[in-house]
Amino acid sequence: MKPSKVEIYDTTLRDGAQAEGINFSLADKLRIAERLDQFGVHYIEGGWPGSNPKDMEFFQQAAKRRWKHAQIASFGFTRKKGVAVEADPQVRMLLDAKTPVVTIVGKTWLLHVTEVLRVKPEENLGMIGDTIRYLKDQGKIVVYDAEHSFDGFKDEPEYALATWQAAEKAGADVICLCETNGGALPSEVSRIVTFAKGKLNARLGIHTHNDCGFGVANGIAALEAGADHIQGTINGYGERTGNCNLTSVIPTVHFKMGRLGVPVKSLPKLKELSEFVDEIANVRHDTRQPWVGQTAFAHKGGIHVHAIERVARSYEHIVPEAVGNHRRVLVSDMSGRTNILLKAAELGFKLTPEAPEARAITTRVKDLESAGYEYEAAEASLALLIRSVLDQNPELLFTVDSYHVSMRGNGASSVCEATVKVRVGKQVHHTVAEGDGPVNALDGALRTALAKSFPTLKKITLTDYKVRILDGVAGTAAKTRVLIQSTDGKREWGTVGVSENIITASLQALVDSMEYALLEH
């Protein structure tokens, strides 16, 4: 038998855009829609044409394009109370959007019917039926979003069922049960979807929110109970704490449930899709996301690393590359020798398990991390450390003889100035630079000095700078750890420095960054 199909309905452009801090331009929405179509989702909900001109413009632009896989859906409400459906301006806007699919949201919870809409229960049923029937008569595929299905069912199961049956009788192609408040347990979702499956002939869908952290779990529970259509957003964007995260649902449907969702060839592009949408939304990618996050297949504990080196699936539920991710071995004070061997190989060094250098590197890392160093995000500094152990007397490309940082001016007009004296062989470069702050000035002076002998360093830029106080009780005398991220435009690397003096710690990280850039050039 062929695996059963699950329809993936993406609402990033509508529900996702309701998240705090998310604001898509028209160009953003079109770019995301094109990428989702290429990836192979079945439906892309473009927005609500009755809410703003930008959404209507999106639908006008979308109507001019050819979509390979997805069908574009517009979103709206059932007709207003006391208004004939053909005379409702909001329904007319849905038709003007010229989408093949229209998604209509209606009330399931009697509390909302009587207290929010303030209509009689029978009229609400009429509003649902009239709107769906009218849209079907216009040749539309209709998805009915039954809002507050689970709260409504728990309060008044007979009325909740009546609303679903009204949608089915009117010809809805999918009845999507919405867990709008995000407060139901997976067991409740499973029970109610199972009940609906037994009472309805129409296809069932599920739309969940993440208020209790159950967005994905509730979506999967509904699929297991008989739904075959699931709505969500890329990276879980959405109002309050977000919606069901499709970057978790999509691989779960394929790898864990054995069902057909997006095309199999798209799955290795999942991490790329996740990062693309974050980039368009101007949101920092969540490194701890399941499946697609940077740490999803990162191993730190020595026992874990030793095990995956022998049998990877002992600590990895899938092959990381299957979703476009990759394994990462972290080195820290929790590391064993296997961590060091694998990390050294990843960084381009050859070590054997029996090599005394492997033990020496492990000991050195543990000692330095106990002193405040941290190498998980500073792999360039780790590479330099390994090199120093393997080569007892590594050739120094340069040394910093002295440096000085000062501030002149007063108040808002003050300027930081850094002086650096660098020795490269027999040459000495003495440079002064100004900057927005002491570290910016120090970075400028160091790179300017070194660029006289190493012109390639002109391309290096500092992209991130993080400071952590390691001993809060020591006050201003506390030890400080500085992490720096650098790039040459093609690759990025991290370095670390530790000192009671924040400028000294920053200089350590900057020197490591420049040295690593020169070695890797």
Q: Is pLDDT of 518 > 60?
A: yes
3-class DSSP state of 360: helix
3-class DSSP state of 65: coil
Position 54 scores a pLDDT of: 87
**Structure-token pair, residue 461:** 């830029």
Q: Out of 59-68, 293-302, 305-314, pick the least confident.
A: 305-314
Using left for φ > 0, alpha for ψ between -120 and 50, and beta otherwise, residue 487 falls in beta
Domain edges within the chain? 7-262, 399-520
- Are 35 and 66 a contacting pair, CB within 8 Å? no
Q: How many CB atoms lie within 10 A of CB 502?
A: 19
Higher per-residue pLDDT: 374 or 191? 191
Position 410 scores a pLDDT of: 65
Q: What count of residues does the chain have?
A: 521
Q: How many CA atoms lie within 13 A of 369 on its CB side?
A: 18
Q: Specify the fold of 399-520.
A: Double Stranded RNA Binding Domain (3.30.160)
Position 339 scores a pLDDT of: 67
pTM of the model: 0.72
* Neighbour-count burial of 423, counting CB atoms closer than 10 A to its CB (0-12 exposed, 13-18 middle, 19+ buried): middle
Compute the distance between CA of residue 513 and CA of residue 482 in angstroms, rounded to an integer: 12
Mean pLDDT of the chain, nearest integer = 88
Domain 7-262: which CATH number of 3.20.20.70, 2.60.40.2890, 3.60.150.10, 2.40.10.340 = 3.20.20.70
Please give the C-alpha separations between residue 416 and each of 27, 406, 408, 437, 484, in angstroms, as whole numbers. 40, 6, 7, 5, 19
Position 314 scores a pLDDT of: 57
Position 74 scores a pLDDT of: 97
Name the percent of the chain in helix, strand, coil, to the closest 5: 45, 20, 35
Higher per-residue pLDDT: 196 or 494? 196
